[in-house]
Structure 1
Amino acid sequence: MRNPETAETTGPSARPSHWRPDIEGLRAVAVGVVIAAHIGFPYMAGGFVGVDVFFVISGFLITSLLLREIDKTGTVSIAGFYARRAVRLLPAAATVLLATLVASWLWLPRTRLGEIAADAATAALNVINIRLAQEGTDYLNANADPSPLQHFWSLAVEEQFYIVWPLVLLAIAFVGAKFSKPGKYTAARHRHRGVGRTAAITAFLIMAAGVSFWMSANWTAGDPIWSYFGIHTRAWELAIGALIAVAAGRIRAFAPAWAAAVASWAGLALIVASVFLLDERTVFPGTAAMLPVAGTALVIAAGCAQHRFGATLLLGIKPAQFIGKISYGLYLWHWPLIMIGPTVLGLEDVRVRHYLFLMAVAFLLTIATFYLVENPIRTRKPLVQVPSRALAMGGGLIATALAASLFMAGQPMPEQSNEEVAEITGNDSTVWEMLGESSDVDTVPANLTPSLDGAVEDEPALYDDGCQVDRDDPKVNKDCWYGDPEGEKTIVLFGDSHAGQWFPALRQNAEASGWRLLVMSKSNCSVADVREHDPKLDREYTECETWKQDVIDYLGEVEPDVVLATSYDGKDVIADDPDQAWIDGWVETVNDLQDVAGEVYYMADNPDIGEDVPGCLAEHPEDASVCVGDLENAVIEPERREELVNAVTDAGAHVVDPIPWLCDIDQGTCPVVIGNLLVYRDANHLSASFVAELAPQVAAAIPLAADPGSQ
């Protein structure tokens, strides 16, 4: 990831005086396992722990550097510290940021440029981890491709640590000097002051590590996204490295050589074991991060003592040393190549061999960056020796990255056809008349509604109203009433976002018929009585089970006349036979709903086009037919779907199949533009504008007799 300096160098090719070949080798291991995990190398899904290895290394090296400065001068030069960070880290980071922005503009869909520009800006300001945490908890972005700058989150965590930690050490040094007794400064007094300072630093680190680890252990399961990206659950890893730096002298003085050698091998074994034992389903960081952190701590601590037969025998080999030396640049380059490279090469089915080729390209770019950018700048004396110049350079690089981000964010969408097509106005026959000819649309119309750059925001109003319950919230929102408030009859919309998307049509029909409409919708929560694994929470979705049981209990109080239930078919069901459990779970829920409602309607799921529709249309504005979905592939689990329809019908539910409203059955296609309407706002969520025009079809399928009480 990054290579914080361990000491001052005496020339461009000189090694620092406190050189640690074992740490250089650890960097190689860390970046290697991160890349292996990201390219899908077999059995190495836990390679994400390489980031944790980097955190411990950074905590140790930075603290070692600062402690040497305090011991030598009695204080910390904040300007000097940040100047060294700027010279060391910003040139390569700015190079990759700018290159990624250019590559994104050239090869990625224009609909993504605004998001990537925001990622670049927050990466330049070292707060991208906060942005990713916020975006990760936004259900509307659940189907978005990862950002090519997502990996900058770990650099942001370290920079946030670098902002706080030197100031803490400076404060401790200042307080120690302030309260020391006046008198002649002697070696004994210097040692006494040093002992007190060390005790204060150790106490602070233990406290900080303890609080952070407690947060990681107790908050990760309930809030995995913020826990993964946040410094509050990662600070203890950096603090562990810092504690080793504080204790390095004692380790060097008292640790037996044989014990240090054994500890170093044991530590390396723990790191390797964590790569193979952990995977994407591990609750992380949580307590699971103890494995790679403990391993890294053992290797670093062992290296503080003199020993001959430790893990440095392996970590110190030349290839590992070279990879470690360039690991920062390799970490920076590898992820944009993974995210953008397949598009550049025109690959749809990307295999490990393709990623290996892209990693070879990343390796060459890394070497070029190291020798043409990193090394020349960090050894340039005018920058190294004058902090103000280094800080000015760093500010200039950040400003350049921000300017490039703003420029890209302002780039217009590709030109669409100047021809405007006839608008769909809600006439019963309009959608039906245009459906058959919509699969052959050549150009994206100029009056497309919603526009391509506004598609992601074309969601039902219930989102703004807080009626799409968040993943980590098990509570039922009982304030989500719509339709005619004076109506005597009630229809309930029950399910996840694939239920919520039908809200615009159902709301129109409820208002026209004088019915009340109650929305019970929760992100990614199926209606079926099953156990689910949630990909965002990265664990069993217990909040969903609690929520839907409470919904059914609440409906027992409401006693609705009609319940319309639906949810996305692509759930990760936890069961020995997921397909059968899915069908049985739906039947169980239908039975429960029939106990509390007059009639139960099951809305079968809509097609999943399989790729972001606005992004595809932005790439092919002159041939929209390229983005049209294939009906055979767009239906999720068609055989299970048919069995489910039969099962809920037998259980007494009315079945509504939206496929004929959305796809041309004869042609076997699912258009993405009908008239002037964009059908999908992403890969599988219908746009609110389009659903509003399906109100007549929904009314015919789910008739709501006019409520006499509303007349």
Structure 2
Amino acid sequence: MTAQALAMLPDRSLTVARMLHPERSHNAAIDGLRALAVLAVIVFHANAAWLPGGFTGVDLFFVVSGFVISQSLASRAGMPLGALLLDFYRRRVLRLLPALLVMLMATFVLSALFIPRAWRNEQFDQTGWAALVGFSNVVLAGQQDDYFSPGAELNPFLHTWTLGVEEQFYLVFPLLFFVWLRGRDRWPWSRVLLPALTVLSLAWAAWQAQTAPAAAFYLLPSRFWELAAGALLYQWMSARGPGRRRDALALPGLALLLAGVLVAPQLAMPVPGVLATVVGTLLLLAAVAGHGQSRVGRALGWAPLSYLGRLSYSLYLWHWPLLVLLRWTYGLQGAALWLYPVLLLAVSAASYHYVERPLRSALPLLRLAPAKVLAMALPVVALCGAGAWATVEYHEQISLSVTRDGYAWQARRYPAWRPLEPVSAPALEGRRLFVVGDSHAAAYRTMTSMVARQTGMEIRQEDRGGCSFVNLLRASPADCQDFIEDSLSAIERDARPGDIVLLAALRMPELRGFDWQQQDAQQIYRQLRAERTPAHAQAAHDEAERVLGRLQRLGVHVVIDAPLPLFKAGAYRCSDWFNRSNPACAGGLSMSRADLQRLRAPQMALLAELAARYPSLTVWDPLPLLCGPDTCSAVQDGEPLFFDNDHLSGHGNRVLLPSFRQTLIDVTGDNPL
């Protein structure tokens, strides 16, 4: 549509025409850059060993986005500020929101169907809900796992952090760009405002990469400079006037992109990790975004590559949840590894052609006032939020996993409404049971709440994942010392003579994370036993002495659980028809009892020494109840004894209940202090 034709249209038609035919010509080379970015990210996420620095494709995206958004805003430079902002946000909503909501809702549903519920699911849910409103990066910055940790690869919403960064950037950048548009010829400060903020963001990113790496990686203040760099390139090019593309810039640009892929994994993120990528992207953009033809522009504009670039948003949206669902189910192996790109391309093309494009250019929506379109988006997001909540709340009703049976699988506090036969135990009635330790203390919650209700005990529970009491392996981590001290102080304040303290912990070296298909099991066991060095053993001994000494002075009974069985694979991940063949399940759900006995022998020796020194200490050993003569199994007769590699299931708790209850009766009745 020519400028003359546009001028002859009425105001509302003029707005619509500009939406459909923006005043900037489409640049296939920029689509090619987007394709390179998304392909790098996909390859990295499929297997980081194939392209270790492929995650820098996200940074290429950021720079291109800053440049393209600047072009879009400049094409509407004549609008008043209010109209420009409303028009901008309407275009962003129509461009980004429909495909995002479809992906999020599909992922919530598929996750409920195929991903078993575990403690990590709460983090997944929080990430997904935050992604609905553009703040998943903020949620992820506050979680324990960082972007590169093994647990993060199982979060189906992890990739939405980049959308959060961009959407937050869109809240502030249009106003900054408007100030530059209107004030560059009148107010000198308006020309330095964005460069100054860019330098501040770069400096902040460099500092925060050392002091708060998760925040530096995920949050806008340390990523602003990347998007702003693309905007500054646009401003510089527009100030210079029309120019021809410079192929001379392309070669160093490509070299820097390659350097970024190679060096970024060894550097702090995002600074200095992505500096090479950002500068390389700027050089390539400068080479292809001017006027005239260029060899690099023609190469990047190659039709198949350009088409992938147009699909890049949908490819990015869908590549990660499809990968995560494969990791949770069949695994990335064999035919699935080859089927994945075909499925991804099909789903992404459908998203682009049937969701993204139609709604972005829908005339009924473009004819509406921008404020009305934005107002219409709010209830749609709220409805999707309600749907996402429902899939989480009612996952047991829709899940295809055997773990949907929460009574058997989940170690939860025994509900007050469920009947429970009382047990006559006068020695326990009115006493307090203090349960403290790491996540394995939490995994006893079914058993301890049941015994308290049966016997009339009062229960006090304090647990924190990774923070054990008397783990027998080594000293507790430094960041657990406050928790340990607070828990001991609470016991010292509230415990009465004759009360009982259960110290629960993982007291065996973990078996997860090894390649049980390729490595010799006995060699791994020897390696694990060797990791408990004499220094570690002494530190574990000293810590146990300090804790038990303080508790014995209170006149309380102390119960320590002996090291429980643990397994190479997690039962909750490997008990369904759709995940039994997963490589994560290769170790199996059973262990030789003799191997477990050897793994826990040093810990058992230390327990025996401690029990001889502290009359208040009783060692309770559940292993004989959980194992057969030769084999320990996570699932027995179709019922799970363990939930994952080492945490008890709800059923496992009930199996141990009679033994634990009798132990409490014995320590308070037959063996008074």
Q: If the length of structure 2 is used for normalisation, what is the TM-score? A: 0.68
1:379 lines up with 2:386 in the alignment: no
The offset of 1:212, in angstroms, is 4.3
In proportion to residue count, which structure has more helix? Answer: 2
1:247 lines up with 2:236 in the alignment: yes
Matched residue type, 1:154: T
In structure 2, C-alpha distance between the alignment counterparts of 1:89 and 1:118, rounded to whole Å: 21
Question: Match for 1:359 among 331, 336, 341?
Answer: 341
* CA 123–29 in structure 1, closer or farther in 2 if over 3 Å, else same: same
Show the counterpart of 2:440: 498
Matched residue type, 1:271: L
Name the SS of the counterpart of 2:305 in structure 1.
Answer: helix
The offset of 1:13, in angstroms, is 9.8
Show the counterpart of 1:235: 224
Show the counterpart of 1:129: 137
In structure 2, C-alpha distance between the alignment counterparts of 1:517 and 1:359, rounded to whole Å: 52
Matched residue type, 2:477: C
In structure 2, C-alpha distance between the alignment counterparts of 1:630 and 1:669, rounded to whole Å: 15
1:642 lines up with 2:598 in the alignment: yes
* CA 595–88 in structure 1, closer or farther in 2 if over 3 Å, else same: closer
Which deviations, in whole Å up to 9, do the C-alpha atoms of 1:567-590 show, x marking residues without a partner? 4622899x9966522354642334
Show the counterpart of 1:165: 173
1:391 lines up with 2:341 in the alignment: no
The offset of 1:170, in angstroms, is 4.8
Show the counterpart of 1:685: 647
1:202 lines up with 2:195 in the alignment: yes
* CA 680–248 in structure 1, closer or farther in 2 if over 3 Å, else same: farther
Which deviations, in whole Å up to 9, do the C-alpha atoms of 1:269-324 show, x marking residues without a partner? 33333334445x87544542334333323333454567977754643333221211
Show the counterpart of 2:580: none
Show the counterpart of 1:474: none
* CA 167–685 in structure 1, closer or farther in 2 if over 3 Å, else same: farther
Show the counterpart of 2:37: 30
Q: How does 1:503-652 map to 2 (within 5 A)?
A: 523=466, 527=471, 544-545=477-478, 547=480, 566-567=506-507, 569-570=509-510, 580-582=530-532, 584=534, 586-593=536-543, 596=546, 603-608=562-567, 610-611=569-570, 613=572, 633-635=589-591, 639=595, 642-643=598-599, 645-646=601-602, 649=605, 652=609
Name the SS of the counterpart of 1:69 in structure 2.
Answer: coil
Which deviations, in whole Å up to 9, do the C-alpha atoms of 1:363-410 show, x marking residues without a partner? 122223322332233333343354436435644643553353345345
In structure 2, C-alpha distance between the alignment counterparts of 1:644 and 1:204, rounded to whole Å: 57
Show the counterpart of 2:388: 405
Name the SS of the counterpart of 2:24 in structure 1.
Answer: coil
Question: Match for 1:316 among 286, 297, 301?
Answer: 301
Is the CA contact 1:251–1:301 (under 8 Å) kept in the aligned structure 2? Answer: no
In structure 1, C-alpha distance between the alignment counterparts of 2:194 and 2:334, rounded to whole Å: 46
1:220 lines up with 2:212 in the alignment: yes
Q: How does 1:44-443 map to 2 (within 5 A)?
A: 44-70=51-77, 77-104=84-111, 107-109=114-116, 120-134=128-142, 136=144, 146-170=154-178, 192-193=185-186, 195-207=188-200, 209-210=201-202, 212-214=204-206, 216-221=208-213, 224=214, 226-250=215-239, 261-279=247-265, 284-285=269-270, 287-303=272-288, 311-312=296-297, 314-341=299-326, 348-351=330-333, 353-388=335-370, 390-391=373-374, 394-395=377-378, 397-409=380-392, 411=394, 413-414=396-397
Matched residue type, 1:360: V
In structure 2, C-alpha distance between the alignment counterparts of 1:97 and 1:548, rounded to whole Å: 39
In structure 1, C-alpha distance between the alignment counterparts of 2:122 and 2:512, rounded to whole Å: 31
Is the CA contact 2:253–2:280 (under 8 Å) kept in the aligned structure 1? Answer: yes
Name the SS of the counterpart of 2:158 in structure 1.
Answer: coil
Matched residue type, 2:355: V
In structure 1, C-alpha distance between the alignment counterparts of 2:63 and 2:622, rounded to whole Å: 53
In structure 1, C-alpha distance between the alignment counterparts of 2:586 and 2:233, rounded to whole Å: 58
In structure 1, C-alpha distance between the alignment counterparts of 2:102 and 2:32, rounded to whole Å: 25
In structure 2, C-alpha distance between the alignment counterparts of 1:98 and 1:365, rounded to whole Å: 14
* CA 518–616 in structure 1, closer or farther in 2 if over 3 Å, else same: closer
In structure 1, C-alpha distance between the alignment counterparts of 2:299 and 2:411, rounded to whole Å: 50
Which deviations, in whole Å up to 9, do the C-alpha atoms of 1:532-553 show, x marking residues without a partner? xxxxxxxxxxx9256569979x
Which structure has more RCO (C-alpha within 8 Å, separation ≥ 6)?
1
Equivalenced residues, count: 596
Matched residue type, 2:532: W
* CA 153–108 in structure 1, closer or farther in 2 if over 3 Å, else same: same
Which deviations, in whole Å up to 9, do the C-alpha atoms of 1:19-76 show, x marking residues without a partner? 4444322211111011112211643233222222212222222133224534776776
* CA 135–486 in structure 1, closer or farther in 2 if over 3 Å, else same: same
Name the SS of the counterpart of 2:396 in structure 1.
Answer: coil
In structure 2, C-alpha distance between the alignment counterparts of 1:64 and 1:22, rounded to whole Å: 15
* CA 36–195 in structure 1, closer or farther in 2 if over 3 Å, else same: same
The offset of 1:81, in angstroms, is 0.5
In structure 1, C-alpha distance between the alignment counterparts of 2:461 and 2:170, rounded to whole Å: 50
Is the CA contact 1:46–1:274 (under 8 Å) kept in the aligned structure 2? Answer: yes
Matched residue type, 1:84: R
Is the CA contact 1:148–1:339 (under 8 Å) kept in the aligned structure 2? Answer: yes
* CA 308–699 in structure 1, closer or farther in 2 if over 3 Å, else same: same
Matched residue type, 1:156: G
The offset of 1:82, in angstroms, is 0.9
Which deviations, in whole Å up to 9, do the C-alpha atoms of 1:124-169 show, x marking residues without a partner? 322333344455569xx99798343332232122112212322444
Q: If the length of structure 1 is used for normalisation, what is the TM-score? A: 0.65
The offset of 1:242, in angstroms, is 2.7
